[in-house]
Chain A
Amino acid sequence: MAKIPISMTINGKVHQAEVDPRLLLVHFIREDVGLTGTKIGCDTSQCGACVVMMNGSTVKSCTCLAVQADGADIMTIEGLATDGNLHPIQEAFWDNHGLQCGYCTAGMIMTSVELLQRNPHPTSDQVRAGLEGNLCRCTGYQNIVKSVLAAAEKMGG
């Protein structure tokens, strides 16, 4: 299989590589770049553990080829805090016990970033609907919803 050259910005840093055309974006991020904060929880695009931001929108990075992200601007969970300060959504998850085992958390937080960008004043039901594509088996979602609502308030949306 001929390798294909790609270049993308991840968390503000340019990464260039030659990759197999079938390489999944999530594997590129985790294995090639070494940013393992993005997780893999399924193989059918159901669980959302692998959600990253691509050009400002969320994408399930297990359902996207690395070559499709050529030229893209990617943000992963590692790029969310700035200058050592937690993003308000990260802070809210911490404040509201919005995680237990932590495995779904990166995906939940990245999805919440987009959710609050699109709807800065969500209701509880809207948050629940917005998290439909992310599975958590620990929390029953309740404190995740609470965290997102608290973040919305804190972000002054």
Chain B
Amino acid sequence: MTSRIFGSGIRRREDPRLITGQATYTDDIKLQHMAYAAIKRSPHAHARIRSVDTSAALSAPGVVAVYTGADTDGVLNPIPCAWVVPDSDVKTVPHPAIAKDVVRYVGDAVAVVVAESRYQAEDAIDLINVDYETLPAVVNPEAAMQDGAPQLHEDAPNNQAFHWVASGGDTDAAFSSAEVVVRETIIQQKLIPNAIEPRSAVATWLSATGELTLWSSSQNPHICRFVTFLVTGVPEHKIRVIAPEVGGGFGSKTPIYADEMIACFCSMRLGRPVKWTETRSENYQATIHGRDHVEYVELAATREGKITGLRTKVYAAMGAYLSTAATGIPTILHGLIYAGTYDIPNVKADIYGVFTTTTPVDLYRGAGRPEATFLLERLVNLLADELGLDPVEVRRRNLIPKFEDGHDVAMGITYDSGDYELTLDMALEHVNYQQLREEQARLRESNQYMGIGVTCYCEICGLGPSQVAHAVGFGAGLWESATIRFHPTGTVNIFVGTSPHGQGEETTFAQILSDELGVAVDDIEVIHGDTDTTPQGWGTYGSRTTAVGGVAVALAARKIRDKGKALAAHLLEAAEADIEYEDGKFFVRGSPDQSKTIQDIALMANLAYDMPEGMEPGLEASAFYDPPNFTYPFGTHVAVVMVDPENGHIELRSYLAVDDCGPQINPVIVAGQVHGGVVQGAGQALWEGAVYDDNGQLLTGSMMDYALPRAHMLPDIETLSTVTPSPHNPLGVKGIGETGTIASTITIYNAVLDALKPLGVTHLDMPLTSEKVWRAIHQRG
């Protein structure tokens, strides 16, 4: 048998245009008569707008128009939040595209200038004079809920955006009867996603036809189209959203922002194409942030190390407004997965969503699940310390045994499949765990501090069944679609509703089709990212593109195969029941010479002069796939660090990721996802953090101040995998885009704290900067 294309690490099909500079990202688009927008943003975290004087800006060179909140008020509807978690008193406060009365974070839009050039637009925003009455700011979500805290929204007393409680079992009883309880306070610092492409929008309005076209650096053009309808009132069928090449997103290009809607407004007012592209500093203020929790967490256990309960109280910052998916992140994507890979009968999440005078928080790689994995795996290590057990041993005593077809957990969800001990064993064997512990002991004798972190994780992704989406308040379907169109020459286009932006599905979807129908990958093009040419879909986020969209491709291919079989039977003058299919050929059972290739079938179906009675011409099929469950990839990660007590420097010595995402369509792409994910998680552990002062000023306001991982700060990440297919989709695949980030932050954090154990340091807040580590060591003498 020739090697199977499904599972082969072939080179990516999207790369030639990217390595030659021929790809088109939104900011590369230039239309005739296009004008340029720049947005005036609030320098204050919280202020009342007394007046906006635009006269000087209006008379500046090249300025075409200046609009303020007074212009958009009543014309643009508020920017909606699409995820309203039920039974949690969500306050969907209005979020005007341009603030008219009150600004609520540094970066809130107060006006927009449209000019003939970008330079002229930028010049003119400095000429807008806004008279502010400053109001007090509050940046910490726990502080924001205290009496007397500055209030952001009239309709949200104590800044409470929502209160969500979920539990399974009897957690209070588990804690009151617990032999051991360990507790921790965890600050999940605010993070800035930093897709290297800044957000950009080009809007063009045709007044004669009422058609609006929006190029947008979006992860989900169809959702963008829907929200553009909600905000502008232009009917959905008259809106075309195109996400051309998109330069990374990591969740931050999932929300629909005010800025894109402002670009649409400008174009509709002026009858000209309008481009807006954010600067990086603007990105830091106006593109969503991630994480930002204050967490009080505790674990109950027996003296033998059997975990009996997990309980949390979390203050999750929402920032100034509810961004598109904000309420779902610290709730559904967080609390439901609390038990991770362990058999924990009693679990309770008590989560407050809180408004703060900061940039809104929304989906950022992992979104809720890194925070969940962090608190669980930190508590397990603290439990091990408390009991004097090896942290791996505590994990072993609690792992859910292998299961292949569903496992119900206390929080009411059903994991698809798992073999947690397998990845743990593989990881420990690969790093030679026992030997590492011996080395650690030896090094400690000479005052060298090595630390080992081991994480067992599983996560919830591949979003998800639409019924569940509805039940948890997400205002969108979560199915995916694919249309496969065979041309007369036997080449193929696949049109999909997902919208990859770096994840490589132009390659992996072609591999799926090639595997199903025997068409060479080079004869397939995957078309995505344009609402006018692709079928409805819900976008690329939540590690769903392959697990949902890829399955839609396979199912559409199977419809093509069925039609091919019927047509082949007709052409070969055989009964359909006697036709077999293999490797792109339909043949009469027992007579492999009597055959038609898929290309023959494509030609004959398109020419259509010799079709069976009643069969439609053409060779095209669509499939819509709504998964019956989420997917639950899992694995074990191991980090080894060296901490220098003299200067607090942390060296990430090695990192191993053993992951199980079911069958891998392209293992090279899978490993690439893991590398990138692990490094993003490492960034949170060691370097990154959005720092605000008490006035709500973002101190880490540029790439000069926000420490992103760079090449020289990192070792090679080792990747291994096991294969446990999901029983809940026909390909058995699970998401892999976020696992690295979900596991690595706590793995590295636990490794550092393990290194510092002999020095008496048991807690540090992230990021674990050298200064913080040095101070912690030396404060303890």
Contact = CB atoms under 8 A, between A and B. Distances in A.
Interface of A: 20, 22-23, 27, 30-31, 34-44, 46-47, 49, 76-78, 80-81, 86, 90, 93-95, 97, 99-106, 109, 124-125, 127-129, 131-132, 134-145
Interface stretch (B130-138, B190-198, B336-344, B558-566): B190-198
B195 A142 contact: no
Interface string B112-128: 00000011000000000
A99 B197 contact: no
B196 A140 contact: no
Contact of B19 (A30, A100, A109): A109
Contacts of A37: 20-23
B716 interface: yes
Given A94-B11, A109-B19, 4 more contacts: A36-B28, A41-B198, A42-B702, A137-B250
Nearest to B197: A103
A41 B676 CA distance: 18
A41 B712 contact: no
B24 interface: yes
Contacts of A42: 280, 702-703
Q: Which 4 A-B pairs have the closest CB atoms?
A: A37-B21, A103-B247, A101-B502, A102-B18
B708 to A, nearest CB: 6
A135 to B, nearest CB: 6
Contacts of B195: 101, 103, 137
Contacts of B281: 43-44
A46 B284 CA distance: 14
Interface stretch (B71-79, B86-94, B512-520, B667-675): B667-675
Contacts of B198: 40-41
B16 interface: yes
B279 interface: yes
Q: Which of B12, B118, B676, B714 has the most CB of A within 10 A?
A: B676
A38 B27 CA distance: 11
Contacts of A35: 21
26 contacts: A20-B119, A37-B20, A37-B21, A37-B22, A41-B247, A42-B702, A47-B280, A78-B21, A94-B15, A101-B502, A102-B18, A103-B25, A103-B195, A103-B248, A104-B196, A105-B18, A128-B711, A129-B711, A135-B703, A135-B708, A139-B672, A139-B675, A140-B677, A140-B678, A140-B740, A142-B717
B631 interface: no
Contact of B711 (A99, A127, A138): A127
Contacts of B151: none
Given A39-B25, A42-B702, A135-B703, A101 B280 contact: no
A109 B20 CA distance: 10
A38 B671 CA distance: 27
Dominant SS among interface residues on chain A: loop
A143 B702 CA distance: 26
Given A20-B119, A41-B197, A103-B197, A137 B25 contact: no
Nearest to B502: A101
A106 B23 CA distance: 11
B669 A145 contact: no
Contacts of A93: 15, 19
A23 B12 CA distance: 37
A81 B645 CA distance: 49
B669 A97 contact: yes
A50 to B, nearest CB: 11
Interface residues of B, number: 59
A94 B19 contact: yes
Interface string B454-466: 0000000000000
Given A44-B704, A102-B247, A141 B502 contact: no
Interface in B697-722: 702-704, 708-712, 714, 716-717
B672 to A, nearest CB: 5
A94 B118 CA distance: 34
A100 B708 CA distance: 18
B295 to A, nearest CB: 26
Given A39-B197, A41-B280, A128-B711, A138 B25 contact: no
Interface of B: 11-12, 14-25, 27-28, 30, 118-119, 193-198, 245-248, 250, 279-281, 501-504, 668-669, 671-672, 675-680, 702-704, 708-712, 714, 716-717, 740
Given A94-B11, A94-B15, A142 B708 contact: no
Contacts of B279: 43
B284 to A, nearest CB: 10
Contacts of B714: 128, 140-142
Contacts of B18: 99, 102, 105
Nearest to A100: B502
Contacts of B25: 36, 39, 103
A141 B680 CA distance: 11
B716 A40 contact: no
Contacts of A97: 11-12, 668-669, 671-672
A103 B383 CA distance: 44
A38 B21 CA distance: 7
B676 A47 contact: no
Contacts of B711: 127-129, 131-132, 134, 136, 141, 144-145
B666 to A, nearest CB: 9
Dominant SS among interface residues on chain B: loop
A94 B676 contact: no
A107 to B, nearest CB: 9
Contacts of A46: 280, 702-704
A106 B24 CA distance: 13
B711 to A, nearest CB: 4
A144 B248 CA distance: 16
Contacts of A101: 195-197, 245-248, 501-502
B245 A102 contact: yes
B672 A143 contact: yes
Nearest to B117: A31
A37 B196 CA distance: 14
Nearest to A90: B19
A35 B28 CA distance: 9
A148 to B, nearest CB: 10
Contact of B708 (A81, A129, A137): A137
Contacts of A31: 30
Contacts of B197: 39, 41, 101, 103
B21 A106 contact: yes
Nearest to B195: A137
Contacts of B669: 97
B27 A40 contact: yes
A100 B704 CA distance: 24
B676 A140 contact: yes
Given A77-B20, A86-B20, A128-B714, A100 B196 contact: no
A140 B19 contact: no
A94 B679 CA distance: 21
B502 A138 contact: yes
A149 to B, nearest CB: 11
Contacts of B119: 20, 22-23
Contacts of B709: 140-141
Contacts of B28: 30, 36
A94 B21 CA distance: 13
Nearest to B14: A102
Contacts of B20: 37, 77-78, 80-81, 86, 90
B676 A138 contact: yes
A44 B702 contact: yes
B17 to A, nearest CB: 8
A128 B715 CA distance: 9
Contacts of B16: 94
A103 B280 CA distance: 14
B280 A43 contact: yes
A22 B702 CA distance: 21
Given A43-B702, A97-B668, A102 B675 contact: no
Contacts of A78: 20-22
B672 A41 contact: no
Contacts of A144: 711
